[in-house]
Amino acid sequence: MDLAQFSLKIFQVLHRGPTKREPKCAEEYQWALGMYGALKSNPENFCTIHILQMNNEDPNIRQLAMTLFAGKMFELNDTLYLKLSPNYRDSLNTKLLDKMASENMASILHQYVNIFEKLYSICITNSIPFPQFLPSILHMCVQGDREHQNYCLNLLEKIIVSIPPNDMKNAFDVIVNLVNQAISSNDGDLMSNAMSIIKELIQYANDNNMCLDKAISLYPILHQVTLTIIKNTSFDSLWIYVFEIEQQIFDVYIPQLAQFIPITIKLALDVCNLDEDEHYDTEVHSIAMELVVTIFEIYYKEMKNVQDLQKYTFTTLMKWLCDVDDIPEWYTNEDEIEDSPYYFQAEEVIERITHMTGASNFVNFLIQHISLLTSKDWKQRLAFLTALNAAINSKKSSISKAAVDLCRLVFPLSSDENPRVRNQVLIFSNRIFKLYPNTQENIAESVLQIIGTGIADEIPRNQSKACDLATSLISSLTPQQLSPYLNNFIKVIAPLIESDDPGVVAEALCSLSNIILKMKVGIDDFFVQIIPMLQRVLEKTSDYTDLFEVKGRIIEMISIIATKLNDKYIGTCTQIIINEIQRVMNIPNLEISDPLFGYIETSFTRLADLLKDQCAPMLPTMIPIILKRVNLNIVSQCEYCETQKVYCGDEVLNVYIEEAEEKVNAITSIADLSNDLKNIFFPYVEQCLSSVIPLIGLKAYQRVRTAAVRCSVSLIGSFISGKEKETGDIQQAMIAATPYCSQITDAIIKNLITETAIEVISEQIIGLQRIIEANRLPLGKQQMNSILEVLKILLVNYIQQSELKDNNLKDEDSDEGNEEEGTFCFNYRSLLQTLATFMPQLFLEEFQNILLPILKASLTTNGVSLKVIGFVASIFSTIILFANQTSFIENIIGIIIKLASTKDVEILNQCMENILLLVQVPCIQPYLQQILEIIKIGLGLKDESEMLYNTSVMTLGKCICYNLQAFNKEIVLSWFSLLPIDSYPDDILSFLFTIFAHSQLIPLTKETITKTLLILISCLASKDSNHIRSVTKDLVTEQLKLWFQNNSALIEPIWEQTNQQQKELLNELLQ
């Protein structure tokens, strides 16, 4: 049997497949598989058996030979094509081209496309000559029959990206002629392939910076083809495809394409506005709108200036938002995108557009259509509110200015006759209240009324949203602010615990839990009233997996109650929790990733904090379960509806988001347990660290990386505490912790080198600082060098990103990026401060070699943004203060003065940050007058920025406090007159009472004492009162006691004039 007959026999048997009824056939099939696999050891023979059958008269054999050849010859990890000798490879290439030219079956031609796409790419990558390939393919495009033209154009589209620039110079015009020929054919397949080739040519020209003008000139041709195809219903199978091609073209920013935005968007929106029928269906409308959104996202700068296109887009979106029906599924919270596809896509599109271009233009458009809010058609009222909610989905400075006015327009609809409209009012109220704290005082009363109306709503979905809004309101109020409403809240929310709707129950429990966290008195009575109700609901949830969230929230709520109870009831409460934890442990087949375990973890951590060593017997049971959840696999090899794509450089991961959040919860629970139990947790620290440290660099989910750093810091604290107890020597404990600290430090440094998420960078920088502070042992030269090298990388990246943002502004309306950057800058300086404080000599040596050159260059290079200069100046100010490098002061003061002269709010905030550091330096006094001039600028911009004004007041207080001898009574009283402010309560009290304690710059009179008590009450009642340090409270208490002792006749009458709530605050301080 020759090779041709042998190969035919193999392919015939493989094509027939195994037949269970015929043992002989099954054996023959196994023989064929074995022989086929064995032939791979000789690549040329293996290749030949396929080539011999590519001319077989039986199309099934040809098809199989081609399919197997395409798959087996070009496997990624074992590319047999590269193992062929050069002569054989040349012969093979020629034969394949000849056989493709003579093939007449479409399905087999498709396999030739697959083969040549892989083969050509391998040849280019590995510098293997294949000079006849491109001419042959181009020839078939011109001279071949319709099928060869179609598949050769398809192949050309796939290989353009691989064509070397020199070859492309010669081929470009030929390819353009082929495109024009295909477009004029009036053949849908040829025309769409030609469009794909134009797309590839434009992207190729842009990537390789060649023939770009020629390539761009092809776009109008492509767009005309889109018009032709879209207007012809006989081509309706291609409509989605041609819009996808246009969308892919605009998915990369190419400035020369911007001129075609108007015609492209107009066509897409025209299609979006056509009534749905058998041709223009949901999918066609959806991809047309996706083209519009892509242009808004990629060409956001251009789109900000085309008002007519914006208006057309917004009008279309409002029309889509009105395409919604009052379906039963909505009432049971079971509605899906498929039920109202246009409504849901429009909502998403508004979120995306306003994220990129800001919300101001869209909100102005809505205001112009305010009549929709009073329309008799509920769909129009719903459309307006849904659009507004989509626009305020993230924090926007333009919304902040208009928030109160928007509330006045929207709040009256909280009693609308349509439940979906009422639902959107609740969503609006929640978003405004959470995102814009400056509005809370003005709208709190109205929000309370909306909550009451929502809880009384007959629709469970609205009751649930009302409870969610109540949670936001409760969370934002201080205990004193909440106190008048406490009983009413409990009265209206508590009965919802026994609702038949699990969503309502879950949200009601969340609201009540937040109330409990804020309660200072009455918790025992509340426990007695509520616990029977909770136990009844727990009994109902025992066996129903769809009620596990309710069960978990009840257990969590009882654990919160336990932290507030007096000894009389605490035993009963903790026993309920322990019993429920044990019951959950015994639920059969409960997945370790189930959120119910998350509630159990969190509840157990509260119990552990409460009981300390009494909970030790439960740790051997709980820790293995929590660690299993820490080690959850959150990455899938495949894409599912439960997964979300996460991009890590060139790698794309499919991440199970729900499992990832459970993993975060478990890591957080380990952190809480180690932090609360300290040495009690010591036996479990090492096994926990072995699971947690590798997660510091887990690319799949950034919240895991953040949680892992926090947890590692807590575990080190527990280790040192346990080791100190074991050895009786803190120094030995720190030495023992050093290997783990080094592992954590190395893991953080390794991750920071490639980390792109600014939130993770900020958290890992502060984690590194806390590890250094916890260990307290000097770093070695190599570690110091590594840390400063990574700080250099982060600084360079920050400078580059800042310049990119300045030159390429996206949503200047968004406040969120500024907050993240501010946190990064603060944490960066904090780490430098720790390094300079703990190891000044080693730090300065490495700092001068690694960071100083780039810092100096940033201040002397033209074109560096003011924001970067401000940050660099604050680094120098940190070094001046904590590394005693006072030689930099004069230059930095000069830079700050120049920055302040811009009167830019963001830059002035940076100036204040610098001043707050510099005023602590003993030799700053010669520059105090210049510093005061800068502070005056900030104080003068109160109307523009309340935050800057408050920061300026606080900064002036610190200047005075640290340089008492340099200020006269007039300036101090001037500062005193600016108080109180609604932020920085710790700083204000610390500065004010330090001035009282160490000077007579503020005289003790009835007026000053009265005002001081008002300032004190304001600080104690502020939303940031939890930030007031114990050392500040001690300072205040000591001064108040001195006043009562030495000036009782003056202070006691003033004290008596305070109301009951104020007395409670003051008495709590004096206890």
Q: DSSP for 420-462?
A: HHHHHHHHHHHHHHHH-GGGHHHHHHHHHHHHHHHHT-SSHHH
Tell whether 953 and 1067 lie within a shared domain.
no
Identify residue 565 by its one-letter amino acid code: L
pLDDT for position 642: 84
Q: Does residue 748 lie in a domain region?
A: yes
pLDDT for position 298: 93
Q: Does residue 1007 lie in a domain region?
A: yes
pLDDT for position 132: 93
Is the separation of the CB atoms in 1070 and 1051 below 8 Å?
no
Is the separation of the CB atoms in 887 and 923 below 8 Å?
no
**C-beta atoms surrounding 1069 within 10 Å:** 16
Query: What's the pLDDT tens digit per position in 696-749?
Result: 999 999 999 999 999 999 999 999 999 999 999 999 999 999 999 999 999 999
Task: Say if residue 916's pLDDT is above 90.
Answer: yes
Q: What is the CA radius of gyration of the chain?
A: 35
| Total structural domains within the chain | 4
Residue with tokens 């938002």: 321
CA–CA separation, 845 and 839 (whole Å): 10
pLDDT for position 608: 94
pLDDT for position 1071: 61
Identify residue 549 by its one-letter amino acid code: E
Query: What's the pLDDT tens digit per position in 921-980?
Result: 989 999 999 999 999 999 999 988 888 999 999 999 999 999 999 999 999 999 999 999
**HSE of 873, CA atoms in CB hemisphere, 13 A:** 33
Tell whether 770 and 786 lie within a shared domain.
no
pLDDT for position 26: 79
Task: Say if residue 481's pLDDT is above 80.
Answer: no
Tell whether 819 and 953 lie within a shared domain.
yes
pLDDT for position 269: 97
Phi, psi at residue 144, to the nearest 5°? -70, 165
Structure tokens at 526: 């509340």
> Which of 777, 812, 847 is where one domain is finished?
777
Phi, psi at residue 784, to the nearest 5°? -60, -45
pLDDT-derived band of residue 543, with 50, 70 and 90 as boundaries? low
Tell whether 835 and 697 lie within a shared domain.
no
Q: Does residue 185 lie in a domain region?
A: no
pLDDT for position 1008: 92
pLDDT for position 730: 93
Mean pLDDT of 151-157: 94
Mean pLDDT of 508-529: 84
Average pLDDT along the chain = 91
Higher pLDDT, 642 or 324: 324
pLDDT for position 428: 96
Residue with tokens 């009786």: 728
pLDDT for position 70: 87
**The domain containing residue 1045 runs over which residues?**
988-1071
> Which of 932, 967, 1002 is where one domain is finished?
967
CA–CA separation, 722 and 680 (whole Å): 7
Mean pLDDT of 282-307: 93
pLDDT for position 1070: 66
Tell me the β-bridge partners of 78.
75
Mean pLDDT of 118-146: 92
pTM of the model as a whole: 0.80
pLDDT-derived band of residue 1, with 50, 70 and 90 as boundaries? low
Mean pLDDT of 476-503: 85
Tell whether 784 and 770 lie within a shared domain.
no
Q: Does residue 1044 lie in a domain region?
A: yes
Task: Say if residue 809's pLDDT is above 60.
Answer: no
Residue 644 DSSP SS3: strand
Tell whether 856 and 764 lie within a shared domain.
no
CA–CA separation, 29 and 10 (whole Å): 9
Task: Say if residue 619's pLDDT is above 90.
Answer: yes
CA–CA separation, 28 and 34 (whole Å): 10
> Which of 742, 777, 812 is where one domain is finished?
777
Among 316-320, 381-385, 393-397, which stretch is predicted with the lowest mean pLDDT?
393-397
pLDDT for position 395: 74
Mean pLDDT of 159-175: 92
Tell whether 907 and 1041 lie within a shared domain.
no
Q: Does residue 21 lie in a domain region?
A: no
CA–CA separation, 726 and 735 (whole Å): 13
pLDDT-derived band of residue 873, with 50, 70 and 90 as boundaries? very high
pLDDT for position 858: 92
Structure tokens at 393: 């989905």
Tell me the β-bridge partners of 648.
651
Query: What's the pLDDT tens digit per position in 646-705?
Result: 888 778 899 999 999 999 999 999 999 999 999 999 999 999 999 999 999 999 999 999
Is the separation of the CB atoms in 229 and 191 below 8 Å?
yes
Tell whether 862 and 960 lie within a shared domain.
yes
| 412 sits in which H/E element | none
Tell whether 766 and 875 lie within a shared domain.
no
CA–CA separation, 703 and 242 (whole Å): 39
CA 215, 217, 218, 220 torsion-angle sign: positive
Tell whether 869 and 745 lie within a shared domain.
no
Query: What's the pLDDT tens digit per position in 812-844?
Result: 455 555 788 989 999 999 999 999 999 999 999
Is the separation of the CB atoms in 342 and 285 below 8 Å?
yes
CA 370 to mean position of chain CA atoms: 33
Query: What's the pLDDT tens digit per position in 887-902?
Result: 999 999 999 999 999 9
Q: Does residue 772 lie in a domain region?
A: yes
pLDDT for position 797: 94
Identify residue 1068 by its one-letter amino acid code: E
Among 17-26, 269-278, 619-628, which stretch is predicted with the lowest mean pLDDT?
17-26
pLDDT for position 981: 94
Task: Say if residue 167's pLDDT is above 70.
Answer: yes
CA–CA separation, 744 and 411 (whole Å): 51
Q: Does residue 852 lie in a domain region?
A: yes
Query: What's the pLDDT tens digit per position in 772-805?
Result: 999 887 888 999 999 999 999 999 999 988 877 7
Phi, psi at residue 653, to the nearest 5°? -110, 140
Alpha helices in 519-566 (DSSP H): 523-541, 548-562
What lies within 8 Å, CB to CB, of 746 at 6+ separation is: 786
Residue with tokens 């954590």: 744
Query: What's the pLDDT tens digit per position in 1057-1068?
Result: 777 777 777 777
Task: Say if residue 270's pLDDT is above 80.
Answer: yes
**What CATH number does the domain containing 806 carry?**
1.25.10
pLDDT for position 588: 87
Q: Does residue 8 lie in a domain region?
A: no
Structure tokens at 237: 């199978």
Higher pLDDT, 582 or 812: 582
Task: Say if residue 251's pLDDT is above 80.
Answer: yes
CA–CA separation, 1051 and 798 (whole Å): 53
Tell whether 1037 and 1001 lie within a shared domain.
yes
Higher pLDDT, 538 or 875: 875
Mean pLDDT of 341-356: 94
Tell whether 573 and 678 lie within a shared domain.
no
Q: Where are the beta strands (DSSP E) in 464-577?
A: none
Higher pLDDT, 209 or 395: 209
Is the separation of the CB atoms in 722 and 697 below 8 Å?
no
Taking alpha carbons only, the member of 779, 746, 918 closest to residue 846 is: 779
